[in-house]
Chain A
Amino acid sequence: GENVEQHPSTLSVQEGDSAVIKCTYSDSASNYFPWYKQELGKRPQLIIDIRSNVGEKKDQRIAVTLNKTAKHFSLHITETQPEDSAVYFCAASPKRGSSASKIIFGSGTRLSIRP
């Protein structure tokens, strides 16, 4: 079945350095790729997303890149800050026509920012 693999499962970086989280998906029909951030004890929140007709998208310190040929996408966080510490989830969804369909999540990356 459809699968999204996410690596690494844990990541520790020095404050101010960059962090990169990578995901690989199996369903070639996937065309929408959101990223969520979940702080301890809180609900997930969308931080950035990308659609299959775009190769890269940036929002301040956060960027996402997509390689459809290789079926992988990555989250890049630059100039990391303590408030970036959280669990990050990637996801992939194959939008079919005007109907909703499943969304498959990766297993998560726990990012810790060292002061």
Chain B
Amino acid sequence: EAQVTQNPRYLITVTGKKLTVTCSQNMNHEYMSWYRQDPGLGLRQIYYSMNVEVTDKGDVPEGYKVSRKEKRNFPLILESPSPNQTSLYFCASSPDTTWGTQYFGPGTRLLVL
């Protein structure tokens, strides 16, 4: 089954404690992206990747890091989480450069205390 998986689905952590949210896709897509969703703000792109070892900043990259060492995986790293990073995070992959036909993961709900 074609899918995008994210782990963990729910996470409660404390300020400053490094965390990683994993994202994996099994569709051999070149393009992957991370978004955060906040009430009233819609979806905002954090980082995206066009291929292995090729990443670029989206609209709200501050406080986040990503890596793309393998085609299928695109982890999101919060080196020192802060409460303003409490949000719902979605990973997505796409077979094309325009992002339209994106396959979204199930989401990760993060609470930073």
Residues of A within 8 A of B (CB): 1-2, 6, 9, 32, 34, 43-46, 49, 89, 91, 93, 95, 98-108
Contact indicator A108/B42 (Cβ below 8 Å): yes
Contact indicator A89/B43 (Cβ below 8 Å): yes
Contact indicator A43/B97 (Cβ below 8 Å): no
Residues of B within 8 A of A (CB): 31, 33, 35, 40-45, 48, 50, 56, 58-59, 90, 94, 97-102, 104-107
Name the one of B42, B102, B106 contacting A106, with C-beta atoms under 8 angstroms. Answer: B42
Chain A residues within 8 Å of B97, by CB: 95, 98-101
With CB as the reference atom, state the residue of chain B lying closest to A9. Answer: B40
Q: Name 11 extra pairs, CB < 8 A, besides A100-B94, A102-B59.
A: A6-B42, A34-B100, A44-B43, A44-B90, A93-B99, A95-B98, A98-B97, A100-B97, A102-B45, A104-B45, A106-B42
With CB as the reference atom, state the residue of chain A lying closest to B31. Answer: A100
Q: When A and B form their complex, what is the total count of cross-chain residue pairs whose Cβ atoms lie within 8 Å?
A: 66
Chain A residues within 8 Å of B35, by CB: 105
Chain B residues within 8 Å of A103, by CB: 33, 45, 58, 99
Contact indicator B44/A46 (Cβ below 8 Å): no
- A28–B41 CA distance with the chains assembled, in angstroms: 22
Chain B residues within 8 Å of A101, by CB: 97
- A102–B31 CA distance with the chains assembled, in angstroms: 12
Minimal beta-carbon separation of A41 from chain B (angstroms): 9
Chain A residues within 8 Å of B90, by CB: 43-44
Contact indicator B59/A104 (Cβ below 8 Å): yes
Among all A-B residue pairs, the 4 with the closest Cβ atoms: A43-B104, A100-B97, A34-B100, A107-B42
Minimal beta-carbon separation of A7 from chain B (angstroms): 12
Chain B residues within 8 Å of A104, by CB: 45, 59
- A46–B92 CA distance with the chains assembled, in angstroms: 12
Chain A residues within 8 Å of B45, by CB: 102-105
